[in-house]
C-alpha cells in the first residue's frame, strides 16, 4: 500500500466522521408529493431532445420527471447494493488493510444513501424498479477483480454525481428531490476522491505484471460497463408508468437518438477522464 493512498484514506475518514449524519433525521419527508412539480431536471430526462419528448405537454413532462427520478434512485439502490457487497468483501483483505477504516465509512454512507433513495421510491411511487443484471462467474488474474470492482464503482459514481450536482442546485425541482441530490453529492465527493486514488493505485500495482490480453480485456470490460451503465437510464418501465403505449420502442428510439448520444458523450467525459488519468484507459 502506498503512503499516498493510506494518507488519503485517513483524511477522508476524518472528513466522514466530521460530516456524520443520522439518515433518519437528515431529510424531512413530506407525506405526499405533488407530481405536477419537476423531480428531474428536464435536460437530464432520458427522452429530452427526442421526438417522444417533443410530443409531451408540460404536465406529461413533469409526470415523466417523477418516474425518471424513481428510476435514477432505483439505479442508485442497485449500484449501492453491489458496492456494499464488494466493500464488505474487501474489509481487511490483505493489501487493503490501510484503507479498511475508510471502507467502513464508505459502507456506512452508501447504506444511508440507499435508505434515502428507497424511502422516496417506496413512499411516493410504491416500488423500486428491479434491475436487469446477471453476473456470469469467471476467473481473474491477481489484482484484476479488485481493479475492475473499484473502476466500475468510479464509473458509476462519476456519472451519478454529474446528475446530483446539477439537480442539487436546480430550483425548478421539488424540494425533496433537490435535497436528496444535494445530500448525495456532498457525501459522494469523498467517495469520488477515494475511487480515483484506489483505481490509480491498483492499476500501478498490478497491471505491469499482466499479460497484454488481460490489459486489453480490462479495457474492453470497462468500455462495455460504461455503455451498460447508461443503458439502464432508458428504462421502459419508466415510459410505461408515464403513459407511453409502446415503452420498449420508446426506450430503443431514445437510446439511438443523436440527442441522447451527445448527452451521454458529454456527461460521460468525466468518468472516462478519470480512467485515462489513472492509466486504465489509453489516452
Partner 1 sequence: MTARTEAELRQALRAWVRAHSPVPVGDGFSDDTPLIASGHLTSLQVTDLLLFVEELRQSPLDPASLRPGAFRDVDAIYATFLS
Between 32 and 245, CB nearer to partner 1: 245
Using an 8 Å Cβ cutoff, are 101 and 13 in contact? yes
**130 makes contact with partner 1 (CB under 8 A):** yes
Residue 38, helix vs strand vs coil: strand
Q: Does 131 bind partner 1 (CB under 8 A)?
A: yes
Q: Does 127 contact partner 1 by CB under 8 A?
A: no
Judged by CB, which is closer to partner 1: 11, or 219?
219
> C-alpha cell of 256?
439511438
Q: Which of 132, 204, 269, 276 binds partner 1 (CB under 8 A)?
A: 132
DSSP letter for each residue of 173-217: B-HHHHHHHHHHHHHHHHHHHHHHHHHHHHHHHHGGGS-HHHHHH
Taking CB under 8 A as the rule, does residue 93 contact partner 1?
A: no
Nearest-5° angle of CA 167, CA 236, CA 58?
50
Name 27's bridge partners.
none
Binders of partner 1 among 13-42, rule CB under 8 A? none
Query: Judged by CB under 8 A, does residue 135 bind partner 1?
Result: yes
Best CA proximity match to 202, nearest among 5, 11, 3, 13: 5
Nearer to partner 1, 40 or 235 (CB): 235
Distances (CA, A) of 60 to 23, 53, 122: 32, 9, 22
Count CB-CB contacts under 10 A for residue 216: 11
For the CB of residue 136, give the shortest distance to partner 1 in the complex, in Å: 4
User: Based on CB atoms, which residue is closest to partner 1, 231 or 276?
Assistant: 231
Specify the stretch interacting with partner 1 by CB under 8 A; choose among 18-26, 195-203, 218-226, 274-282. 218-226
**Torsion, Cα of 197, 7, 106, 41 (10° steps):** -50
Q: Write phi, then psi, for 38 (nearest 5 degrees).
A: -90, 135
Under rule CB under 8 A, residue 258 binds partner 1: no
What the block records as the C-alpha cell of 207 is: 497491471
Cβ-based nearer residue to partner 1, 38 or 150: 150
The verdict on 228 binding partner 1 (CB under 8 A) reads yes
Nearest partner of 283 among 219, 208, 205, judged by Cα: 219
CB of 82 vs partner 1, minimal distance in Å? 12
CB nearer partner 1, residue 97 or residue 246: 246
Nearest approach in angstroms of CB 219 to partner 1 is 13
Residue 224 contacts partner 1 per CB under 8 A: yes
The answer to the question of residue 136 lying near partner 1 (CB under 8 A) is: yes
Q: Which residues contact partner 1 by CB under 8 A? A: 130-137, 220-221, 224-225, 227-228, 231-232, 236-237, 240, 246, 248-249, 251-252
Amino acid at each position: 500500500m502506498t503512503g499516498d493512498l493510506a494518507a488519503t484514506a485517513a483524511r477522508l475518514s476524518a472528513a466522514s466522521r466530521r460530516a456524520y449524519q443520522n439518515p433518519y433525521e437528515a431529510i424531512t419527508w413530506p407525506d405526499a408529493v405533488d407530481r405536477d412539480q419537476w423531480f428531474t431536471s428536464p435536460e437530464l430526462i432520458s427522452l429530452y431532445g427526442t421526438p417522444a419528448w417533443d410530443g409531451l405537454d408540460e404536465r406529461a413532462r413533469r409526470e415523466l420527471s417523477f418516474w425518471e427520478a424513481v428510476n435514477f434512485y432505483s439505479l442508485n439502490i442497485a449500484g449501492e447494493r453491489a458496492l456494499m457487497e464488494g466493500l464488505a468483501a474487501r474489509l481487511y483483505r490483505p493489501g487493503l488493510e490501510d484503507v479498511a477504516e475508510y471502507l467502513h465509512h464508505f459502507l456506512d454512507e452508501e447504506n444511508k444513501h440507499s435508505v434515502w433513495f428507497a424511502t422516496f421510491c417506496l413512499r411516493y411511487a410504491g416500488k423500486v424498479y428491479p434491475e436487469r443484471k446477471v453476473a456470469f462467474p469467471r476467473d481473474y488474474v491477481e489484482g484484476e477483480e479488485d481493479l475492475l470492482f473499484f473502476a466500475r464503482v468510479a464509473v458509476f459514481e462519476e456519472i451519478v454525481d454529474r446528475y446530483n450536482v446539477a439537480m442539487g442546485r436546480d430550483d425548478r425541482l421539488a424540494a425533496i428531490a433537490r435535497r436528496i441530490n444535494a445530500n448525495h453529492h456532498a457525501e459522494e465527493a469523498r467517495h469520488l476522491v477515494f475511487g480515483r486514488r484506489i483505481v490509480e493505485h491498483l492499476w500501478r500495482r498490478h497491471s505491469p505484471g499482466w499479460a497484454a490480453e488481460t490489459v486489453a480485456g480490462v479495457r474492453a470490460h470497462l468500455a462495455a460497463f460504461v455503455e451498460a451503465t447508461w443503458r439502464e437510464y432508458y428504462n421502459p418501465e419508466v415510459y410505461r408508468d408515464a403513459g407511453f403505449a409502446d415503452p420498449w420502442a420508446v426506450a430503443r428510439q431514445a437510446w439511438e437518438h443523436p440527442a441522447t448520444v451527445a448527452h451521454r458523450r458529454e456527461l460521460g467525459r468525466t468518468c472516462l477522464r478519470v480512467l485515462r488519468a489513472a492509466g486504465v484507459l489509453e489516452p
